[in-house]
Amino acid sequence: MKMIQAVIRTERFKTVEEALDKSGYSSLTTTMVMGRGHQKGLQVGSTHYTTLPKQMVWVVVEDDQVEKAVDIIATAAETGNIGDGKIFVLNVADVIRIRTRERGASAI
């Protein structure tokens, strides 16, 4: 299993959420975060914002579903502008559904 972590523009979250849900990836976790990329923030006139608001989305998928899920997120999140975000893919050793103690892919 893999965990996909996507840091995206806050205004693209609903589009990403709907695209994932439409493709069968209805389980996700999200939170608001602050961050910056290579540009180290944003300059507006004489004001420099060192961090910007972003949305973090976590989705756990089976190994053979990674490329599909990543493509869905990237396509839905993309605006073509600097600051569209990043996607990270991490290994997941196990998943446990708390209510039933079910483990592995069936607990996703």
- Determine contact, residues 73/15, Cβ cutoff 8 Å: no
Angstrom distance (rounded) from CA 67 to CA 47: 39
Q: pLDDT at position 70, please? A: 98
How large is the average pLDDT for residues 45-59?
A: 91
Checking if the pLDDT of 10 tops 90, the result is yes
- How many other C-beta atoms are found inside a 10 Å radius of the C-beta of residue 85? 21
pTM, two decimal places: 0.91
Please give the domain boundaries of the chain with CATH numbers for all domains: 22-38+50-107 (3.30.70.120)
Checking if the pLDDT of 38 tops 90, the result is no
- Determine contact, residues 15/84, Cβ cutoff 8 Å: no
